[in-house]
Structure 1
């Protein structure tokens, strides 16, 4: 039987992805969690949690020293950080050199091995290459290193919070305005931030079951029109809706990305959820969903939407 994981180090612990993961790790008394941060970071870190600080260069030697003695490395770095300068590859190499037993890479979205997703959004292709590299290194280690990737679809609670996402999906809850791409009926899986963090902790508690697996999460499946309908129904007020075609926006964003504008990836990511494009986001239709196996609590569209309305009304 595999020795349980105890020592865990997380990169990107204070970001939108990392914060709920860190909270779930700290709530589990069997884990000893360490935060890895950049020397120049000014992020406010929780007290009484060990912190290792390294240079902004994230060199392989620094990473290897930081990872030594750790059972698990969790990368919760944002899309910009993890897909540039080969950082994700250095994390894998350093973890292997340090004797780490499990890596959870910076996935937390689409199935980055699905060609439908990687063809539309270049950053999915970059993440797919990184996951394949991790898989190859793990296989070559003959079991010394394992991996688990987490695909959770959309964080709708994050997307409806303008302070966190900048109205990522084009829905302004407080201003009661929404952009609908194409039909607005494309189906996509949603996992709340809290359940995503809890899933990471539960994955590590089920080390053998989750070794070398893509773990797909889905609290529920919805569409952009269903989200707007729920906002109107629960908020008691209508929304001004602007309808757009995704095709021209996709072409423009891809052209900008190919010219070196990395920020153009974010409208592509939003359209991959909201537009009439097939990237395999309906995990409940296409994949085995792990929510029940991991014992995650049930979450609903109305619950998430009501939380967004209450937050908007109080701000």
Structure 2
């Protein structure tokens, strides 16, 4: 198998996950990028001009995906959290990549360490993504090196989380109205990587296919807590915020019951509280045993809490 990767197809190019990845891929001249969309979401006005587009049905059948993946060196999946974990969609992407002879597949993870039992126990989506990664590893092994994989765990996207238009105040920090919820102690430490650096990491991974083959890649620009984030917001805004204090345990239990009953709207609250509540899901990547942070290896310039907060305040002022 040649180690070079030139032809890259991206599924889910316009969402919060896909947009920064697409931007980074298009900025690398050695890649020939193709976009994969489904019929119901295909909107040419949202897609960059002069980028080839392959459209499949909403069923995302293995046959359609295999045809779309033919001739592609790498497949990057950036479909959002809820759909990728339902109806074996992730498995169909993997099976199609194998059938099409793809060299590298990057699945839609971009959050926790989805092989960590603590994360998988608390948040069902992490368990589903962990099962997806295990299936990918199994199928790749069956190809004897034909298909390789890279998994990316980046913690929270604080730049996205502080943008209400994109995230709906995901971390319960409302920049516009100067309000925030402090869950439990507010001192739970979690890894933060900007969406831009996550997109750049995907490009760097594909530019270094031998180095990154069959690896879990962990990113971390910095580690913070909800109290530290709010304190920095107050400092830069020169204004005290209205704070509400809540306990996470009963709320997590309530949302888990809803999720188990089929209410997938509970997915994002479960994810959000898992970052800021006093729960142990292994989010402090730099201090987790056996985890290596790849920012330096990939040549990423780490952002800082001060920079992310400054950008968020400037956007809302």
Deviation at 1:275, TM superposition (A): 0.3
Distance in 2, matches of 1:136 and 1:55, equals: 27
In the alignment, structure 2 segments of 5+ residues that lack a partner are: none
Aligned pairs for 1:31-180 within 5 A: 31-43=31-43, 44-180=46-182
Secondary structure of 1:10 counterpart: strand
Secondary structure of 1:3 counterpart: coil
Show the counterpart of 2:251. Answer: 249
Does the Cα contact within 8 Å between 2:42 and 2:55 map onto a contact in 1?
Answer: no
Does the Cα contact within 8 Å between 2:155 and 2:192 map onto a contact in 1?
Answer: yes
Deviations 1:85-124 (A, max 9, x none): 1110000000000000100000000000000000000010
Deviations 1:154-178 (A, max 9, x none): 0000000000000000000010000
Deviations 1:220-240 (A, max 9, x none): 000000000000001111100
Secondary structure of 2:10 counterpart: strand
Q: When the two structures are superposed, what TM-score results if normalisation uses the length of structure 2?
A: 0.98
Q: Does 1:273 align with 2:267?
A: no
Secondary structure of 1:179 counterpart: strand
Distance in 2, matches of 1:2 and 1:98, equals: 16
Deviation at 1:2, TM superposition (A): 4.0
Deviation at 1:274, TM superposition (A): 0.2
Secondary structure of 2:144 counterpart: coil
Deviation at 1:75, TM superposition (A): 0.3
Aligned pairs for 1:20-39 within 5 A: 20-39=20-39
Distance in 2, matches of 1:187 and 1:137, equals: 35
Does the Cα contact within 8 Å between 1:2 and 1:207 map onto a contact in 2?
Answer: no
Q: When the two structures are superposed, what TM-score results if normalisation uses the length of structure 1?
A: 0.98
Secondary structure of 2:40 counterpart: coil
Show the counterpart of 2:3. Answer: 3
Distance in 1, matches of 2:90 and 2:33, equals: 20
Deviation at 1:140, TM superposition (A): 1.2
Of the three residues 290, 295, 298, the one matched with 2:299 is 295
Q: Does 1:208 align with 2:210?
A: yes
Q: Which runs of 4+ in 1 moved over 2 A?
A: none
Does the Cα contact within 8 Å between 2:3 and 2:210 map onto a contact in 1?
Answer: no
Q: Does 1:259 align with 2:274?
A: no
Distance in 2, matches of 1:256 and 1:65, equals: 38
Secondary structure of 2:22 counterpart: helix
